[in-house]
Structure 1
Amino acid sequence: MANWLVTGASSGIGYGIAMAALTAGNRVAVTSRSLAKLQSLTEQYPQQCFPVALELSDDDSIAQAIEKLDDFGPINVLVNNAGHGYRAAVEEGEDERIREIYATNLFGPVKLIRHFLPHMRHQHRGAIINISSIAAVQSGIGSGYYASTKAALE
């Protein structure tokens, strides 16, 4: 049994990864911007599932989540899944939206890696899984910012 942290676990790939880890008997800290969206996971696995509110574009939210995760125990598997897109031509991108997508898709996950990796190294075990996108290799028109955040996370 390992302790997992799965960001963006309220739907999609994150939900699927969290379910697979829980079904396999692991303890899983699941995150979402909304704790209500994690309710079904926590109800299905009340002894194994640890819900944590996390907004990756907000440094205070990251610090609060890390503090709460100290109660969960050492993280053996970090899954950086949370993220979102932003469609805009590069020359038309809005500064605030660009900063936010980089904070969510890249800088937030990097902060989590920097926090949990030293423990993994000390224990000589652990895994970090960064969920990227095919857009990192071949993006569509208007996906330059999204593609670059995912390419940087690889």
Structure 2
Amino acid sequence: MEIQELHRGRLIDHIQLVVKDLSVSHTFYAAVLASLNVPVGGQGDGYFWADELFVTGIDSAAALGALTGRHHIAFQARDRTMVDAFYKAALAAGGRDNGAPGERSYHPGYYAAFVLDPDDNNIEAVYHGEASRSASSVLITF
């Protein structure tokens, strides 16, 4: 059996997106996640994953043959520069603008950018401002 390692410890356990064209989505998410220093963790027949994000093609067994609708995902960024890099990478990889990088009124220091992915899901990168963490994540090995 292969040993797997996952980083966990954020609010969301996982998100699954069902997409029309897995190859197009893989190109988009590989670029966006690379700008956030998150590698694509793996892929198989009809899916790929990175951290808590699982993306499946509409024809995969996990998708049950249907698109599930428009979703919003917010990725954590370490600083404003990373939010800016996310936005540029997303647009270069086929995403569409849904809110250029800038401060938002959600709380002081909330700096974010929004793009629509190839399936019109609203994808955000957000930096919440200066803060300290006890750990970047929890490493789980099984």
Taking structure 2 as the reference length, what is the TM-score of the superposition? 0.32
Question: Between Structure 1 and Structure 2, which shows a larger proportion of helix residues?
Answer: 1
Q: Which structure has the higher relative contact order (CA within 8 Å, separation 6+)? A: 2
Question: Between Structure 1 and Structure 2, which shows a larger proportion of strand residues?
Answer: 2
